[in-house]
RNA sequence: GCGCGAUUAGCUCAGUUGGUAGAGCAGCUCGUUUACACCGAGAAGGUCGGGGGUUCAAGUCCCUCAUCGCGCACCA
């Protein structure tokens, strides 16, 4: 009969949720390494991994994110309770164009532009904004109860992901998959950038359709303003009406700005039924026309500039905006007697930029492209397109619900080369440099070897013990010489060393042995921020230095002189950046101090935060081992300029399943958690993201990025409209909802009855209903706690037949549920759990037990509550964990309680 | 135009190899002060969009039409 006071009041989600999340974080159990360390997960357990689809750093969490987090957290918590090595990696996406445009708008309000403030200043502003958004989003994600391993958090634009991007780009370039070419692009005149085919929306428009005399022909067009340069007239070769004209025939005619010569082209691309069956082409501003021009090697001329104004070729109309010029051109043609007629009801689809809503103007530009049709030698001579098809057809990527597989195939079959250049500043700048002759230079591989100074821990211990008085003793020298031996034949051409004595002395000994005179000293390589007090700053042949034991204590235990782990991590990144600017014909040797070198290597391996503490210890360079590492370095040379464009944001997102696991390094994470188990995301980004991840992973790693793709639907309001900022009246703010009803209620409202791929209609009524459910659980628990105690479950009494029947019912249900969990049928499981708890456990079992509260009844009540809490946990993590802690105040957390014990 | 879905109770939706229709919410009636009014009990409510076919048997499989939604490609 132990009833905590909190049960005397209705369930109050708000008062417990933040505290519970903090408790989970403090336990460290969101990190699978900790679960193994503490014995909750077997080291050889099966792994289960998900990468969080990274929210854009453009603002706040919306209901779509909440929906995604609810589903994924159920998957993750369930699998963790199944005893799997479970990893869910958080991160955010820099979302290039979207994020950049937020700042562009801000600047415009301030009366300035990005060009006025310059690239560097602009990026500083974007980064500040991105950081703020990131912090907001992370806070909101935690409110949902998401059990993400924050120690592995990634960002699509951070330094580790940048190395992945450069490696991917370079690899694709070397394989001939990335090329630069003049091609027709979707130009967004408002955003001043190109966008990919997938970033273009179509909008129906009714406009005028004009018929003009063009020599002996009548041509139809909706865009008279593009017609100035048209000097090719195209018709179908089988069209009897034009059989008198021959391909290549020249015709003199009068056109907008005077007489000109037109050339007849016969091509089957023409639809004989449409318009007059004959057209002129404008290759610079139309994809179809461009193809025809390429086919016959025709001239191409730009008519409209990047701001949507007519160029000098338009004669008197030069400098005019399209809208303005159109009517005037028609007027002029009419005056010249060339206008035949105008139709008013021409319906067609206008291309609109998804991000800026501006009308797309096709243009020809030099851009970087990914060739999706070129056979790749190292991938069975399959093209990227074929790799993407094979992944789903044969290599085991299952898409749920499976109708999306058809949509996926349909898209790939129509796929054209991917334009990856963006004319914006925020993003991964294209890793290509041009010299004066416009030759292309890419990053090159530079090999580094890391080692530490010639002084072992054992040697230092002697110093501490007073058995030696110099840190670089004879023994230390010998060790330095040993290292030098190992480096013979490694083609070392340059040495970079810390500027403090022990490392510098070692570097000098090695340099002398190897006959190298090129030594640089970097103070960033110092062990810790020792300043001038504890180490002897250079120079020369000093063999002793002042030091304290404090500075020698393993960094994992204590940081010296106030430099925190974050500071060290930051410094490591600075060093890596500096290394990337170092360059040498041969191998560069880095001689550092033990602890910092290990941290540096750990960061180079892709570790973050606390992982560095754990993993740097595993890097064994103590006994003067050498550690080899290859980095891509920017090319060096006279007058090289980097391409000013950035990469399409989906280029870096495409690497997400493995860049988050440390690729291009061959990390343990990568070995254990890739391919990931499930990719859970909205069906609206199947092409943008899912397809691109399959492309990148099958090509770069030769393996699929995930085994299962689970697509969720869109969140709709009660009127069936997609919830968005554009209709704020009915939009539900997840944060306000959590405050009012609790995260558990919101999660349930989004899960119950919502199958894969199905849109959720979210209404406040539904959320309210599940907050009532939470209260029901709360009160039933109160009753059970009042009537029973923990001992009732210790020994199983002989059960009354009635009670045995209830338990039997539960066991049957529980087995069924486990099967359904494995089939992703959360919408069914949640409903069944709800129903059993309320209408069997509460309405029948508890009511029956009231009349005869014997041992059998008490056991049954305890048993059923215990089991139900376990199965409900993935769905309603907060309330179940809270109740669990009241049932078992000294027990383990519910989040790592084995799922099997629910059966 | 091509493709993909959806159409089941007033609303939102389940219904997994075909076996005589289910849940939640809302509404209705009655009840209830010691787990819970954020409650309980009960009744009502659907010729499963129309038509056709296969079958002993069709919400479920096939064909067709209608309506709605989504995706892709678009034609000067």
Residues A536-561 have a mean pLDDT of 35
Given a cut of 90, whether residue A481 has pLDDT beyond it is no
Given a cut of 60, whether residue A690 has pLDDT beyond it is yes
Element (H, E) at A232: strand A232-235
Cα gap A409→A399, rounded to integer Å: 11
- Show the 3-state SS of A463-532: HHCCCCCCCCCHHHHHHHHHHHHHHCCCCEEEEEEECEHHHHHHHHHHHHHHCCCCEEEEHHHCCCCCCC
Contact A862, A793 (CB under 8 A): yes
Residues A131-152 have a mean pLDDT of 95
Residue A862 has what pLDDT? 93
Given a cut of 70, whether residue A99 has pLDDT beyond it is yes
Percentage of chain A exceeding pLDDT 70: 90
Top-ranked range on mean pLDDT: pick from A205-219, A231-245, A693-707 = A693-707
SS3 A318: coil
Contact A472, A505 (CB under 8 A): yes
A281 confidence band (pLDDT: 50, 70, 90): very high
Cα gap A636→A364, rounded to integer Å: 31
Residue A721 has what pLDDT? 66
Cα gap A270→A288, rounded to integer Å: 10
Neighbouring residues of A19: CB distance < 8 A, sequence distance ≥ 6: none
**From the CA of A760, how many Å to the C1' of B49?**
23
Cα gap A519→A525, rounded to integer Å: 14
Residue A465 has what pLDDT? 60
**From the CA of A873, how many Å to the C1' of B29?**
37
**From the CA of A726, how many Å to the C1' of B24?**
30
Residues A814-840 have a mean pLDDT of 88
What nucleotide is nearest A741 when CA is compared to C1'?
Answer: B38
What nucleotide is nearest A198 when CA is compared to C1'?
Answer: B72
Q: Using one digit for the tens of pLDDT, what is the confidence trace for A575-625?
A: 988 888 888 888 999 988 877 888 888 888 777 776 777 666 666 555 557
CA angle A46, A48, A53 (to 5 degrees): 165
- Chain B, protein-covered positions (CB within 7 A): 3-5, 12-16, 23-26, 35-36, 38-41, 71-76
What nucleotide is nearest A774 when CA is compared to C1'?
Answer: B38
Top-ranked range on mean pLDDT: pick from A275-289, A425-439, A543-557, A791-805 = A425-439
Residues A493-521 have a mean pLDDT of 86
Residue A453 has what pLDDT? 78
Give the residue with minimal CA–C1' separation from B36.
A779
Q: Which of A105, A70, A61 is nearest to A88 (CA)?
A: A70
Given a cut of 70, whether residue A901 has pLDDT beyond it is no
Percentage of chain A exceeding pLDDT 90: 47
A590: DSSP letter:
E
Residue A653 has what pLDDT? 95
Residue A38 has what pLDDT? 94
Q: How many CA atoms does the CB half-sphere of A594 hold within 13 Å?
A: 20
pTM of the model: 0.87
Q: How many CA atoms does the CB half-sphere of A584 hold within 13 Å?
A: 21
What Rg value do the Cα atoms of chain A yield, rounded?
34
H helices of A535-584, in order, are 549-552, 565-581
Residue A644 has what pLDDT? 93
**From the CA of A411, how many Å to the C1' of B63?**
28
Given a cut of 50, whether residue A221 has pLDDT beyond it is yes
Evaluated on CA atoms A551, A555, A559, A561, the torsion sign reads positive
Cα gap A714→A709, rounded to integer Å: 16
Give the residue with minimal CA–C1' separation from B68.
A720
What is the average pLDDT score of chain A?
86
**From the CA of A633, how many Å to the C1' of B11?**
62
Given a cut of 80, whether residue A712 has pLDDT beyond it is yes
Q: How many helices (H) and strands (E) does chain A have?
A: 30, 30
A162 confidence band (pLDDT: 50, 70, 90): very high
Contact A75, A678 (CB under 8 A): yes
Residues A485-501 have a mean pLDDT of 87
Neighbouring residues of A758: CB distance < 8 A, sequence distance ≥ 6: A712, A713
Residues A153-175 have a mean pLDDT of 94
What nucleotide is nearest A825 when CA is compared to C1'?
Answer: B16
Residue A718 has what pLDDT? 64
Residue A541 has what pLDDT? 31
Element (H, E) at A389: helix A384-393
Residue A550: other Cβ atoms inside 10 A: 12
Cα gap A864→A624, rounded to integer Å: 60
A274 confidence band (pLDDT: 50, 70, 90): confident
Residues A41-55 have a mean pLDDT of 96
**From the CA of A821, how many Å to the C1' of B16?**
14
Give the residue with minimal CA–C1' separation from B72.
A411
H helices of A43-154, in order, are 63-81, 96-109, 114-117, 119-143
**From the CA of A135, how many Å to the C1' of B76?**
51
Q: Is the peptide bond before A167 cis (omega within 30 degrees of 0)?
A: no
Q: Using one digit for the tens of pLDDT, what is the confidence trace for A719-767?
A: 666 766 555 556 678 888 899 899 999 999 888 888 888 888 777 888 8
Element (H, E) at A217: strand A217-221
Segment among A347-361, A472-486, A513-527 with least mean pLDDT: A472-486
**From the CA of A122, how many Å to the C1' of B41?**
68
């Amino acid at each position: 009969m132990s009833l905590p006071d909190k049960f005397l009041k209705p369930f109050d989600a708000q008062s417990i949720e933040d505290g519970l999340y903090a408790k989970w974080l403090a336990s460290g159990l969101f990190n699978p390494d900790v679960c193994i360390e503490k014995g909750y997960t077997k080291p050889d357990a099966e792994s289960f991994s998900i990468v969080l689809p990274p929210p854009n750093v453009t603002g706040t969490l919306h209901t779509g994110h909440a929906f995604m987090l609810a589903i994924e957290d159920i998957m993750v918590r369930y699998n963790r309770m199944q005893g799997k090595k479970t990893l869910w990696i958080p991160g955010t996406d820099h979302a290039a164009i979207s994020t950049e445009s937020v700042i562009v708008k801000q600047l415009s309000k301030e009366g300035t532009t990005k060009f006025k403030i310059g690239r560097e200043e602009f990026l500083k502003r974007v980064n500040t904004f991105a950081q703020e958004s990131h912090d907001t989003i992370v806070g909101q994600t935690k409110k949902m109860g998401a059990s993400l391993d924050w120690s592995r958090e990634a960002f699509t634009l951070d330094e580790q992901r940048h190395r992945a991007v450069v490696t991917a780009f370079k690899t694709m370039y070397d394989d001939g998959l990335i090329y630069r070419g003049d091609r027709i692009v979707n130009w967004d005149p408002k955003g001043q950038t190109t966008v990919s085919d997938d970033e273009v929306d179509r909008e129906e428009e009714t406009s005028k359709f004009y018929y003009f005399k063009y020599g002996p022909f009548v041509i139809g067009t909706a865009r008279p303003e593009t017609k100035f340069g048209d000097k090719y007239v195209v018709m179908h070769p089988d069209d009897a009406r034009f059989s008198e004209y021959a391909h290549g025939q020249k015709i003199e005619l009068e056109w907008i700005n005077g007489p000109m010569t037109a050339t007849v082209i016969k091509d089957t691309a023409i639809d004989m039924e449409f318009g007059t069956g004959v057209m002129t082409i404008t290759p610079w501003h139309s994809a179809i026309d461009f193809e025809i021009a390429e086919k016959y090697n025709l001239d191409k001329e730009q008519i409209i500039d990047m701001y949507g104004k007519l160029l000098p070729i338009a004669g008197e109309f030069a400098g005019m905006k399209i809208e303005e010029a159109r009517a005037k051109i028609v007027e002029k043609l009419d005056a010249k007697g060339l206008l035949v007629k105008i139709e008013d009801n021409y319906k067609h689809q206008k291309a609109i930029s998804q991000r800026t809503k501006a009308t797309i103007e096709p243009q020809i530009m030099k851009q970087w492209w990914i060739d999706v049709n070129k056979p790749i030698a190292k991938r069975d001579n399959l093209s990227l397109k074929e790799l993407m098809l094979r992944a789903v057809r044969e290599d085991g990527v299952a898409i749920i619900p499976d109708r999306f597989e058809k949509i996926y195939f349909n898209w790939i079959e129509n796929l054209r080369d991917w334009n990856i250049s963006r004319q914006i500043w925020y993003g991964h700048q294209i890793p290509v440099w041009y010299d004066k002759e416009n030759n292309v230079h890419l990053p090159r591989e530079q090999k580094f070897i890391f080692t530490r100074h010639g002084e072992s821990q054992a040697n230092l211990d002697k110093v501490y013990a007073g058995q030696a008085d110099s840190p670089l003793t004879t023994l230390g020298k010998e060790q330095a010489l040993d290292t030098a031996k190992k480096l013979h034949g490694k083609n070392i051409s340059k040495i970079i060393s810390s500027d403090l004595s022990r490392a510098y002395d070692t570097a000098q000994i090695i340099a002398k042995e190897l006959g190298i005179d090129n030594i640089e000293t970097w103070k960033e390589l110092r062990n810790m921020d020792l300043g001038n007090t504890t180490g002897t700053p250079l120079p020369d042949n000093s063999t002793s230095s002042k030091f304290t034991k404090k500075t020698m204590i393993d960094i994992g235990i204590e940081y010296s002189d106030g430099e925190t782990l974050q500071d060290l991590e930051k410094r490591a990144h600075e060093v890596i950046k500096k290394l990337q600017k170092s360059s040498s014909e041969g191998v560069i040797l880095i001689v550092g101090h033990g602890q910092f070198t290990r941290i540096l290597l750990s960061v180079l391996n892709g570790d973050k935060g606390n992982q560095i503490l754990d993993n740097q210890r595993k890097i064994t360079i103590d006994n003067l081992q050498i550690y080899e590492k290859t980095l891509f370095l920017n090319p060096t040379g006279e007058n090289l300029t980097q391409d000013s464009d950035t990469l399409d944001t989906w280029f870096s997102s495409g690497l997400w399943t493995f860049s988050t696991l440390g690729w291009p390094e061959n990390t343990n994470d990568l070995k254990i958690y890739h391919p990931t188990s499930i990719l859970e995301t909205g069906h609206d980004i199947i092409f943008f993201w899912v397809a691109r991840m399959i492309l990148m992973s099958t090509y770069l790693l030769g393996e699929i990025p995930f085994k299962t793709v689970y697509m969720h639907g869109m969140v709709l309001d009660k009127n069936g409209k997609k919830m968005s900022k554009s209709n704020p009246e009915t939009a539900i703010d997840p944060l306000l909802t959590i405050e009012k009803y609790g995260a558990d209620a919101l999660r349930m409202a989004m899960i119950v009855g919502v199958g894969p791929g199905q849109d959720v209609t979210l209404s406040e009524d539904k959320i309210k209903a599940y907050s009532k459910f939470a209260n029901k659980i709360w009160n039933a628990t109160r009753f059970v706690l009042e009537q029973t105690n923990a001992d009732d479950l210790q020994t199983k009494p002989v059960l009354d037949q009635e009670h045995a029947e209830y338990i039997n019912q539960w066991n049957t249900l529980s087995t069924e549920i486990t099967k359904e969990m494995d089939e992703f049928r959360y919408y069914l499981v949640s409903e069944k759990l709800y129903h059993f708890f309320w209408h069997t456990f509460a309405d029948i079992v508890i009511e029956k037990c009231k009349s005869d509260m014997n041992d059998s009844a008490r056991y049954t009540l305890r048993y059923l509550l215990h089991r139900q809490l376990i199965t409900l946990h993935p769905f309603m993590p907060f309330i179940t964990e809270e109740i669990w802690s009241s049932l078992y105040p000294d027990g383990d957390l519910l989040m790592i309680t084995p799922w099997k014990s629910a059966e």
